[in-house]
Amino acid sequence: MSRSSVRSLLLPAILLTASAVVGSIVYNDKVVALGGDYYEITWAAASSYVVASGGTIYTSGDYKYHKFTSTGTFTVSAGAGDIEVLCVAGGGGGGGWTTTVYAGGGGGAGGVLYESAYAVSTGGYAVAVGAGGAGSTTDGGYGVNSSFDGAGLVAIGGGGGGRGYGASARSGGSGGGEGCYQTNPGYGTVGQGYDGGQGPHASNNGGAGGGGSAHVGYNSSSTAGANGGAGTSAYSAWASATSSGSGGYYAGGGGGSADNLGSGNWGTGGAGGAGGGGRGTGTAGVAATGAASTGSGGGGGSYNEYNGGKSGGSGIVIVKYQFQ
């Protein structure tokens, strides 16, 4: 008597997709044909796909993406399983100075936190999207944390860029860059971002770049501002699927301001890091804000830049899961 292996699906009602012919008899998980052959049946549970709402929903291949650019709720109405979550916090604001020749540092990028398998079932999951930190004529403001499911997953807001002739830049998801003649850069959070750049600890120098989510901020060594650290491109497929990020990157550091020696003779402002970091004040003009919904740091400001450094970009939260 010959044997063949057959796979079936176990659904709310049992469904047999065996090579059974009309007139077959089912006995102890076997299909016995009248001709004498029988087939072993292997049972497999049907997949329980998540059905959910919340945010702006995109479909790419077999996956759905829920993009949150403001606070909301991810609501599972049916099914259960693991989802992927990307949290990007708000970027730090750029530092500045308005009364002497000292330049401000670039804001640090917001922290980037990825979870590959977060278990969910029916119910609501709170999503918080952090705002960017305020730019300042002194130390740049802290970026605000982004989170999923309250304290379940938390990305740390970026540290503000330091003011010229201050103490230390601010720490956060990524650290703010030193202002001219500061003591220390801001430090990043391990696994989420990198440290801000350092300066020469001397007067008449540009500000350092803010740290990015994939690279440290650059050090300043002349009257020019230093560049912000690069953001991460590890989630470029997410960026493409949801029309988010900046060129496939998230969370770049802000550029440091140039010093103008008190005479309007600007050096070059530091470029923002890939991912939307704002440039620093310099020959290209005043500082720029971090790009919205990227978690990037704001550019640093300097003397005669009376609005000081610029604000960091707001963060973003994206949920991804297979739906078929």
Q: What is the pLDDT of residues 102-139, one digit of tens each?
A: 789 999 999 999 999 999 999 999 999 999 999 998 89
What are the helix (H) ranges across the chain? 236-242
pLDDT tens column, 174-193: 999 999 888 899 999 999 99
Residues with Cβ within 8 Å of 101's Cβ and at least 6 positions away in sequence, in order, are 164, 203, 204, 259, 260, 261, 262, 302, 303
Q: Say yes or no to pLDDT of 266 above 50.
A: yes
Distance CA 317, CA 324 (A): 23
Q: What is the pLDDT of residues 31-59, one digit of tens each?
A: 444 455 544 544 444 447 899 999 999 99
Please work out, in degrees rounded to the nearest 5, the angle formed at the alpha carbon of residue 203 by the alpha carbons of 202 and 208.
70
Q: What percent of the chain has pLDDT over 90?
A: 67
Q: Look at the alpha carbons of 136, 168, 161, 69 in this order and tell me if their dihedral is positive or negative.
A: negative
Half-sphere exposure at residue 269, Cβ-oriented, CA atoms within 13 angstroms: 32
Banded pLDDT at 262 (limits 50, 70, 90): low
Kindly tell me the sign of the dihedral angle through the C-alpha atoms of 220, 247, 110, 135. positive
* Predicted pLDDT at 160: 97
- Predicted confidence at residue 305, as pLDDT, reads 57
Per residue in 248-259, pLDDT tens? Answer: 999 999 999 998
Residue among 248, 300, 298 at smallest CA distance from 274? 248
For position 157, what pLDDT does the model report?
98
Q: Which pLDDT value is given to residue 181?
A: 84
One DSSP character per residue, 242-265 reads HT-SBTTBB-PPPPPPPP-TTTT-
In this predicted structure, the answer to whether residue 293 has a pLDDT above a threshold of 80 is yes
> b/e map of 241-260 (b: 16 or more CB within 10 Å)?
bbebbbebbbbbbbbbbbbb
Instruction: Give the chain's largest Cα–Cα span.
Output: 101
The secondary structure element, H or E, covering residue 53 is: strand 51-53
Tokens of 323: 């739906």
Mean pLDDT of 162-180: 91
Residue 149 CB neighbour total at 10 angstroms:
18
CB-CB neighbours of 306 under 10 Å: 11
